[in-house]
Amino acid sequence: MGISDYVLQKTLSTNGLSQLVWTHLRRLLVHWFNDPPCSVTAHGRTLRVPLSHELPTYLRLLPFYDRLPGRISSYLHEQYGPLKCLDVGANIGDTIAALYRDEQNLFLAIEPDPKFNRYLRENWDTPDVKILDVVCSSYSGNEEYRIDEKFGTASFYKNPGGIEIQTITVDDLLIQNPEFAGLNLIKVDTDGNDFAVLRGARQALTSQPAVLFECDVFRNSRYVEDCLETLALFSAAGYRSMLVYEKFGYPLGRYELQDLTHFRELLFYQLTKKFIYFDILLMKEQDLLPFYALEKSFFLDMLPDKRLRPTAEKTG
């Protein structure tokens, strides 16, 4: 076991003053040794991550964080067999680990950040995972970007004089990679560019694959407008409703795309509260309704106070 692995293990397994000491040492190692690699077990798979990555902490402290993809995968496998998945913002490959079942699955993993792309390739050096370092957006071309990295994520901002990176729409990407035709799952988590990614996926959405995307502000002065316009794309593609989860994985309910009154209230809550984002899941209605029933049953089973189940069941 290397020093970075040992320090991470101590950070995760201690409490109180000891944990503060180990957390401080972890930060020093990140600073002194250029964020060295370490290993973490996520979704039953050992992954290499930079020591600064917060995934191990979140998985330890938050029982539902990053667990939704695994339940989506189980449902889709049962209904349709092996996954054919586009993962935009694949990071170090933790979502692939949650979704993965066997070598019959096929993943197109997009990660333009050079640092996370290296880890992604190390973690998924397999023929069933194809990795690209492009930026998915609402148009195809080239742009110069500034990359902001923190806590294991990266945000891309257009910036003249920055790093030039190829941009491509999801629709063009699928034309160039025909083996991924007939996707049954699209996951988007780009720390600020999700709406642009989905605007470039109009053709892909017409077959109504399951789509899971992050819905967060990221200093976007048109956030509400962009969010509602994106949901209108889904409505035009035939989707009827969505499931919304808060950032730690707890469900916030099902919302009809034709009546977003209550969802707009959630957006207002989000804009007036710090550090809150949503994950939004859309499926064909014949899949979303039974999946939502499974989700409600799952969370009822997970109630910390079992005496509350009878009253919780009366919520609908």
pLDDT of residue 191: 86
One CATH from 3.40.50.150, 3.30.413.10, 3.20.20.150, 1.10.3720.10 for 67-315: 3.40.50.150
Q: Is the pLDDT of residue 153 over 80?
A: no
Helix axes of 68-80 and 285-301: crossing angle, nearest 10 degrees: 130
pLDDT of residue 186: 98
Confidence of residue 147 (pLDDT cuts 50, 70, 90): confident
pLDDT of residue 142: 85
**Per the confidence metrics, is the pTM higher than 0.85?**
yes
Q: Is the pLDDT of residue 162 over 80?
A: no
What pLDDT, in 10s, does the model give residues 14-39?
999 999 999 999 999 999 999 999 99
What pLDDT, in 10s, does the model give residues 247-303?
999 999 999 999 999 999 999 999 998 878 999 999 999 999 999 999 999 999 999
pLDDT of residue 160: 81
Confidence of residue 158 (pLDDT cuts 50, 70, 90): confident
Report the share of the chain in percent with pLDDT over 90: 87
pLDDT of residue 276: 87
pLDDT of residue 201: 97
Q: Is the pLDDT of residue 210 over 80?
A: yes
pLDDT of residue 149: 75
Q: Sketch the domain layout of the chain as residue ranges.
A: 3-58, 67-315
Confidence of residue 316 (pLDDT cuts 50, 70, 90): confident
Q: Is the pLDDT of residue 1 over 80?
A: no
Q: Is the pLDDT of residue 243 over 90?
A: yes
Report the share of the chain in percent with pLDDT over 70: 99
